[in-house]
Amino acid sequence: MLVKEKTIKENIVKISVIQGPNLNMLGIREQNIYGGMKLEQIHEEMKKTAEAHNLEIDFFQSNLEGEIVDKVQECLGETDLIIINPAAYTHTSIAIRDAISAVSIPTVEVHISNVNRREEFRQKSLISPVAAGTIVGFGPFGYHLGLLAGIQILNEVKAMQEQQQAAQPQA
């Protein structure tokens, strides 16, 4: 896991939240599974948490696989952490998996529903093996948990980098 050196020096941590297909329909679709909270409300709550931790956060949603791949690639050198809910692409997209793997940015996978208790085809994630961790089944609160997990991951990476720098001989 690499964290952009410039970001650590500037003390500005940037987080990109990437949302997959049909998540723009939250609050409308299958409320018995996904609840009544709209995507905009989830993002507003995440913004509040990010601001409280002096983090910069941006949001992206697309129903198109290629646009999600492009967004992941655009994060390289710009973003310290990705929080992603690839939605249905979780189970089908080698392209999104490969993009996450290629950029080597710590990534937290989030799912609103407990995919492990749903249809068999939803129980296999192609993304989980390349993510730092996965949060499932906590409803919209899962995004908050993902953000907190990401903050912890970044703190650990920063501490490890500081230890490595301290261990290097001074010129």
CA separation for the pair 89, 100 (Å, rounded):
13
Q: Is 53 an active-site residue?
A: no
Burial of 18 (0-12, 13-18, 19+ CB in 10 A): buried
Q: Is 34 an active-site residue?
A: yes
User: Do 145 and 120 meet the contact criterion of CB atoms below 8 Å apart?
Assistant: no
User: Do 55 and 15 meet the contact criterion of CB atoms below 8 Å apart?
Assistant: yes
CA separation for the pair 151, 157 (Å, rounded):
10
The three-class DSSP label of residue 80 is coil
User: Do 46 and 110 meet the contact criterion of CB atoms below 8 Å apart?
Assistant: no
Catalytic residue among 34, 43, 89, 143: 34
User: Do 152 and 160 meet the contact criterion of CB atoms below 8 Å apart?
Assistant: no
Catalytic residue among 43, 89, 111, 143: 111
Residues tagged active-site: 34, 111
